[in-house]
Structure 1
Amino acid sequence: MDKASIVASPPSPSLSAPDLPEDVFLLILTHLAAWDVVSCQRVSKAWRTAYTKPEYLRIVLQQYPHTREIRDLPPGALHFRSSQGGRVDWQHIVVTVASRHQSFVTGTARTVCRYPMADVEQSGHWFPVGQWRYHESQPGGRLYSQPAAMHPGRTSSGPFLFRPTLWSYDDGLLVYAPAQRSQDDSVPSSPFLTLLDIATGERYPVPFDIRGKIIRNLRLRDRTLVLEWAEKDPYHNLDAVEQVNRHFASCFDISRGKNPQSWAVAWRSEWKMHFLGLPLNSHSRFLSTHNSTHYAVYFWQPNRSMYAGGEEMPIESLGVWDISNPSSYQPSTDPSGKSRPPEKEGPYIVSRFLFTDMDFFGVRQYASVSLMSLSLHSASLSLTVRENVGVAGQGYFDPAERLWCAKTTTFPFLGQGPRLYREWDGTLPPYRGHCSMESAEVEDSERWFVPIMDVIDVDAGVRMSLVETCISSQSVQNQLVIRMRFEAAGQNDGEDVGPGWVTLEDRLTREVGSRGRIAGDERWLIGQNEHMEIVVLNF
């Protein structure tokens, strides 16, 4: 046959993914992650048209039912032919979910926001509650104010005690003292507290006059803000050396403003924390907790008796208040109590437990402090005390063999009822300062990592863990590490996505982990750096 007579057959047209039959294309979609779909949208116009169809995006998002954006959708909105999500911007949701999960997988952040803080401690407006120097969760009970790493030329080392921080986070809202003041500040020379909506960046002033006051602690929980503070001027002399300052707690309600996208901070009430007051020193300590209706505080003070003095037999007490009723009465402006309203018109004491009562329930600390947290359950009118003890002999030679005994005691704070005591109840981090008392339960100990603080977004299945390496070497410095893990939505509960634990970039860890405290949820991670800035990593 003559070669010239051979007619070449026309090439077959190429077939790409969008040209596939829909049933085959849907099978491909079910195996693609959200980030893969976003990448496919960038190939060509035809691919973008195919990979941005709302019904196809809903198929992809069915793999992420635990994410916040999906949980907020109406029921049935993710069905292939659903009519419930007609006004939903599916492309925006896919891009948001994809970017967040990609950040988790790579250990990075989309954006980093920094909020400078006022140096309230230097100006005398903040005197943090003293931290424990001995705690039973540490080997030998002793803590040190120096890094835990062993450095060349250093003769000793010990667990590092992180300094307290003056900010609080809860469900997208942050309360802190900003460095810059607004123009409507009535006291330009004084710091004031601000409520920050992290999602929008909008700030709202907290109506708290700082003049003549020293903040001891603040906490935001259940849309309720509690400020614990003391008067700057002493009220009376405790002895020839020490003076006592009256201590109070102010409560504020956080609610939506007239604009549904804004917030409002409104005064609720004020009450006296301690009937005599406390000296402003590092020896008299208190730990508190609250929810929207109740407040509890534990006091630990050295015994100044000449017969059983010092810290061997401290004075301990525990009180619970009902703070559900608002009241305009301020006991700080009425030292004599002449204008005090009738009982139960405002905050009032529900119960008070002295050291004998605490002995009865088994939660008295004595000098061997193991207290880690308090929590209130208003529905059952119960109070839970959690303690943590390092088991002797465990981890002394090998850090991988360390072991902590977490104990939980629950008892009614009103009425009569049984005490529930649980030993080996979960795993808590060792005490490293008051910030560690806010940690969620940590996972079982892993080799060469000591937990400091964990944050868990239960609904999203996200865990972020601040740990410290514990390598014994003269040439290797122990360092802080933040690890993140995303438990797969759409898979079996507890199953991890991708590589499991992912380590956050070192530069970002230094930004948020320097104070030993982290907060946040699946959307962002919050911490404080060494430059007096609150840092928000947006995922």
Structure 2
Amino acid sequence: MYADTKSDKLARLAIAPKSRSISIPDLSEDVFLLILRGISAWDVVTCQRVSRAWRTAFSKDEYIRFVLQSYRRAREIRALSPAMLNLHPSPEATCANWKQTLLSVASRYHNITQGKTRKIDRYPMAPLEQLGDFFAVGQWDYHESQPGGRLYYETAAMHLKIGVKPYLFRPTLWSYDNGLLVYAPAIGEEYGHFPQVLALLDVEIGKKYPIPFNARDKIIRNLRLKDRTLIVEWAEKDPFHNLNALEQVNRHFANCFDVRQGDDNRGWAVTWRSEWKMHFLGLPPNYHDRFFSTHNATHYAVYFWQPNRSMYTGDEELPIESLSVWDISAHSCYQPSTDPAGKRRPPDDAGPYIVSRFPFNQLDFFGIRQRSTVSLMSLQLDSDALSLTVRENVGVAGQGYFDPAERLWCAKTTSFPFVGEGPRLYREWDGNLPPYRGHCSMESADVKESERWFLPVMDVVDSLAGVRLSLVETCFSGQSMENKLVVRAKLEEGEDGEEGTWATLGDAVASEVSSMGRIAGDERWLIGQNERMEVVVLKF
């Protein structure tokens, strides 16, 4: 047998059929769908950048709809009917921009799982506290969820000895709800001029709208936006009468505004609804007389806690406590702040009116009287069930605070009807709440179980999207170790159906939203405040 010559080899290669490599776009549809089922939306976007053939294959609308079936909790997908995600097109599905929807969902969920931000917006705030136009409700300096109960005022930058002195975060003057933010923009902006110091911000487009709240001769105590209803609680700057030889009382009021979309669903309009007097006598503008409130679209509840100024001994020395629930559903032009004598007061059904009052003895009966050992964390209204829920948090005796193996709290929930008679529902160990660190803690969602090296500060949960945003603080021991605030994000349910893992934002980005110990947001963005008096929006 003779050896093949070079010409013989070339001849055989010319006669032999050429081998052809098979790429993913060349696969049959059933196999291609199996591949799509196992990759994420961000992987699909990445595959579109490989080549022209890959871009054509991975950009087909029917395949994009197939991938988006795994993201039914995303905001864009929740707005669609289930039939629009079918593999085979329907008349309404052909009109949608599926490529843009894929890019929006893919980039957002990729950034959340990677701890990255797409854009950072900053909105300077007016220094109303320094100007005397904002006097926050006093925070607890003692709380049962803290070891020893005692807390101290320190700035977020001065907490190197947190193990020795648990500190309180400073109060903030802004509120967020479902894409809208209420705050006091810096003077010089279009809607920051006096006397309308408050503005409504559409976070998505960054446009501001005026709020018809005249701040002249008023001290803002608190504001809250919920269920497209804005409540501004304020006090008159001038005292109304003397409480005793040393203290004077300022009348306190609450203004209610409706937040509605404008014509053709464009823009937002804030309109007047009503005003009512919060306390029949008023409160001294100090940090010792405290009130805490909550509201929804139809009801408003406020809890008062005041030190007892009695000269007698015994039970009279306990703080004065009361709880009131108002019906605020009706519109009313009457302003009690302009009618001190009440001569023009309309009938109760013509405006806000008190549904029920609970004095200290009834609070004691329900088991929610705080006395001097405060454990209150939040109030929650349910207008459908006509019930009020009080949540409390107590550090379990004998359990450590910074020892990760012993850190434990007991969250308690008490629900009772605020109209008519009914049973009280009391639950211990009902979820996990963070320890009290200021008013921000009272807005926190339930946190996950105690983690080994992190102390919870505040959690925000977008339950519809299954996204959790968390602000925690490291609790390491050692003289050479510095504790810091950490911002994290994760999907409550990952792409594989199991709980996702935490993604930690960078320290520089986290410092932009964690300085005041308060965060807000949803799957689209994370909102907080930095040390430069700016509201910061981290967009995913």
Q: TM-score range by the shorter chain?
A: over 0.9
Residue from 60, 64, 80 that aligns with 1:57: 64
Residue from 164, 170, 182 that aligns with 2:177: 170
Residue from 151, 154, 160 that aligns with 1:146: 154
Question: In 2, are the aligned partners of 1:302 and 1:311 still within 8 Å (CA)?
Answer: no
CA distance in 2, matches of 1:151, 1:457: 30
| CA distance 1:433–1:24, shift in 2 (3 Å) | same
Where do 1:471-482 residues align within 5 Å?
471-482=476-487
**1:31 maps to what in 2?**
38
CA distance in 1, matches of 2:267, 2:46: 35
Question: In 2, are the aligned partners of 1:440 and 1:456 still within 8 Å (CA)?
Answer: yes
| CA distance 1:298–1:260, shift in 2 (3 Å) | same
**1:258 maps to what in 2?**
263
Question: In 1, are the aligned partners of 2:191 and 2:210 still within 8 Å (CA)?
Answer: no
CA deviation map 1:456-490 (0-9, x unaligned): 01011111111111111101011101121113366
Residue from 309, 312, 319 that aligns with 1:314: 319
**2:50 maps to what in 1?**
43
CA distance in 2, matches of 1:239, 1:194: 38
CA distance in 1, matches of 2:154, 2:274: 40
**Equivalent AA in structure 1 for residue 203 of structure 2:** I
Q: In structure 2, the residue corresponding to 1:98 is in which secondary structure?
A: helix
CA deviation map 1:299-346 (0-9, x unaligned): 000111011499951111100000000100000000010000012210
Q: Does 2:419 align with 1:395?
A: no
Residue from 483, 486, 492 that aligns with 2:488: 483
CA distance in 2, matches of 1:309, 1:113: 55
CA deviation map 1:152-207 (0-9, x unaligned): 8x79821120011000000001000000445577xx44461111111121211111
Q: In structure 2, the residue corresponding to 1:508 is in which secondary structure?
A: helix
Q: In structure 2, the residue corresponding to 1:259 is in which secondary structure?
A: helix
**Equivalent AA in structure 2 for residue 504 of structure 1:** L
CA deviation map 1:406-434 (0-9, x unaligned): 11111111111111111111111000001
**1:509 maps to what in 2?**
510
| CA distance 1:217–1:237, shift in 2 (3 Å) | same
CA distance in 1, matches of 2:471, 2:200: 25
Backbone CA RMSD of aligned residues: 2.0
What displacement does 1:47 show?
Answer: 1.4
CA distance in 2, matches of 1:151, 1:164: 17
CA distance in 2, matches of 1:309, 1:118: 46
**1:196 maps to what in 2?**
201
Q: Does 2:21 align with 1:14?
A: yes
CA distance in 2, matches of 1:190, 1:253: 20
CA distance in 2, matches of 1:70, 1:419: 40
Residue from 361, 376, 379 that aligns with 2:384: 379
Question: In 2, are the aligned partners of 1:249 and 1:273 still within 8 Å (CA)?
Answer: yes
**2:528 maps to what in 1?**
527
CA distance in 2, matches of 1:253, 1:309: 46
Residue from 424, 427, 434 that aligns with 2:429: 424
Question: In 2, are the aligned partners of 1:466 and 1:516 still within 8 Å (CA)?
Answer: yes
**Equivalent AA in structure 1 for residue 153 of structure 2:** S
Q: In structure 1, the residue corresponding to 2:365 is in which secondary structure?
A: helix
Where do 1:322-401 residues align within 5 Å?
322-395=327-400, 398-401=403-406
What displacement does 1:18 show?
Answer: 1.0
| CA distance 1:509–1:235, shift in 2 (3 Å) | same
CA distance in 1, matches of 2:362, 2:324: 11
**2:108 maps to what in 1?**
100
CA distance in 2, matches of 1:269, 1:48: 57
Runs (5+) with no aligned partner, structure 2: none
Question: In 2, are the aligned partners of 1:147 and 1:158 still within 8 Å (CA)?
Answer: no
What displacement does 1:28 show?
Answer: 1.2
CA distance in 2, matches of 1:397, 1:380: 40
What displacement does 1:29 show?
Answer: 1.2
CA distance in 2, matches of 1:140, 1:382: 33
Q: Does 2:2 align with 1:2?
A: no
| CA distance 1:485–1:308, shift in 2 (3 Å) | farther
What displacement does 1:24 show?
Answer: 1.5
**Equivalent AA in structure 2 for residue 112 of structure 1:** I
Q: In structure 2, the residue corresponding to 1:435 is in which secondary structure?
A: helix
Q: Return the structure number with greater helix share.
A: 2
In the comparison of the two structures, how many residue pairs are matched?
Answer: 532
| CA distance 1:61–1:156, shift in 2 (3 Å) | closer
CA distance in 2, matches of 1:116, 1:253: 25
**1:160 maps to what in 2?**
167
| CA distance 1:202–1:396, shift in 2 (3 Å) | closer
Q: In structure 2, the residue corresponding to 1:393 is in which secondary structure?
A: coil
CA distance in 2, matches of 1:301, 1:251: 25
Q: In structure 1, the residue corresponding to 2:422 is in which secondary structure?
A: coil
CA distance in 2, matches of 1:110, 1:184: 27
**1:125 maps to what in 2?**
133
Instruction: Report the TM-score when normalising by structure 2.
Output: 0.95
**Equivalent AA in structure 1 for residue 149 of structure 2:** G
Q: Does 2:239 align with 1:234?
A: yes
Q: In structure 1, the residue corresponding to 2:293 is in which secondary structure?
A: strand
| CA distance 1:34–1:289, shift in 2 (3 Å) | same
| CA distance 1:444–1:155, shift in 2 (3 Å) | closer
What displacement does 1:501 show?
Answer: 1.3
Q: Percent identity?
A: 65
Question: In 1, are the aligned partners of 2:145 and 2:436 still within 8 Å (CA)?
Answer: yes
**2:499 maps to what in 1?**
496
**2:249 maps to what in 1?**
244
Q: Does 2:471 align with 1:466?
A: yes
Q: In structure 2, the residue corresponding to 1:122 is in which secondary structure?
A: helix
**Equivalent AA in structure 2 for residue 513 of structure 1:** S
Residue from 129, 137, 144 that aligns with 1:136: 144
Question: In 2, are the aligned partners of 1:400 and 1:445 still within 8 Å (CA)?
Answer: no
Question: In 1, are the aligned partners of 2:196 and 2:214 still within 8 Å (CA)?
Answer: no
CA distance in 2, matches of 1:203, 1:182: 10
**Equivalent AA in structure 1 for residue 109 of structure 2:** H
**Equivalent AA in structure 2 for residue 526 of structure 1:** I
| CA distance 1:149–1:211, shift in 2 (3 Å) | closer
Where do 1:202-217 residues align within 5 Å?
202-217=207-222
**1:290 maps to what in 2?**
295
